[in-house]
């Protein structure tokens, strides 16, 4: 079992391999070399090199929004997909307008597309936020398939619910980056709970 999250050696960040822990993934050298070859595959190589170069170019200078726009430009994309949450529709409008101002076509699909009641997907009344009211289900599979039908070259996920985002990634034909990770309690800053895990949020996580 790999336990990189608890490693204090970090042999992976330097050239000295003599101190690798017994369960270090890098002990499987053959597998690592096979994986390295994947970065030479046509579908991966240009994308990986350009996003890695982007990391250096904007390091500690650019917010993620600018990094995302710059990557789209460097890859020569023209049509960008934007899958967003209804609760972040104002933010989605800002992002869409910014992308258009930089010359991109933007295809955007809201999470509630379809307008189906939650019950249609098998969600019980007591599992709704407001049990006695109509609530439209989130529809991440439709978001992905609608963007696929528009042949978007790259998709941006903006504030999709936990798990709904997973289904969007699963069904998206194009590569996806997450611009906003939804956290309704912490103004969409999930790291806040991590930073306070041993303090203010200890009894809330």
DSSP-based three-state secondary structure for 54:
helix
Distance between CA atoms of 70 and 182, rounded to whole angstroms?
23
Run of H or E residues at 1: none
pLDDT, tens digit (0-9, with 9 covering 90-100), for 139-191? 999 999 999 999 999 999 999 999 999 999 999 999 999 999 999 999 999 99
Tokens of 65: 């929004």
Average model confidence (pLDDT) across the chain: 96
Residue 111 burial (CB count, 10 A): 25
The model carries a pTM of: 0.95
Give the other-Cβ count within 10 Å of 204's Cβ.
Answer: 9
Encoded tokens for 177: 């980056």
Q: How far apart are CA 124 and CA 81, in angstroms?
A: 31
Decide: helix, strand or coil at residue 118.
helix
Do 118 and 137 touch, CB atoms closer than 8 A? yes
Per-residue pLDDT tens for 94-130? 999 999 999 999 999 999 999 999 999 999 999 999 9
- Residue 198: alpha-carbon gap to chain centroid: 26
Give the pLDDT of residue 155: 98
Query: Is 90 exceeded by the pLDDT of residue 199?
Result: no
């Amino acid at each position: 079992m790999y336990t990189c999250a608890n490693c204090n050696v970090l042999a992976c960040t330097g050239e000295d391999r003599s101190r690798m822990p017994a369960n270090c993934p890098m002990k499987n050298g053959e597998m690592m070399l096979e994986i390295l070859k994947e970065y030479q595959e046509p579908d991966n190589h240009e994308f990986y090199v350009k996003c890695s170069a982007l990391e250096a170019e904007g390091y500690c200078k650019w917010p993620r929004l600018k990094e995302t726009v710059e990557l789209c430009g460097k890859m020569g994309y023209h049509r960008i997909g934007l899958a967003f949450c209804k609760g972040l529709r104002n933010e989605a409008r800002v992002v869409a307008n910014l992308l258009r101002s930089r010359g991109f076509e933007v295809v955007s699909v809201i999470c509630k597309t379809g307008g189906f009641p939650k019950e249609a997907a098998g969600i019980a009344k007591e599992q709704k936020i407001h049990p006695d009211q109509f609530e439209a289900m989130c529809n991440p599979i439709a978001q992905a398939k609608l963007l696929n039908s528009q042949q978007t070259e790259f998709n941006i996920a903006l504030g999709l619910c936990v798990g709904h985002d997973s289904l969007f990634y699963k069904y998206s034909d194009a590569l996806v980056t997450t611009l906003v990770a939804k956290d309704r309690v912490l103004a969409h800053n999930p790291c806040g709970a991590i930073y306070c895990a041993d303090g203010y949020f200890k009894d809330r996580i």
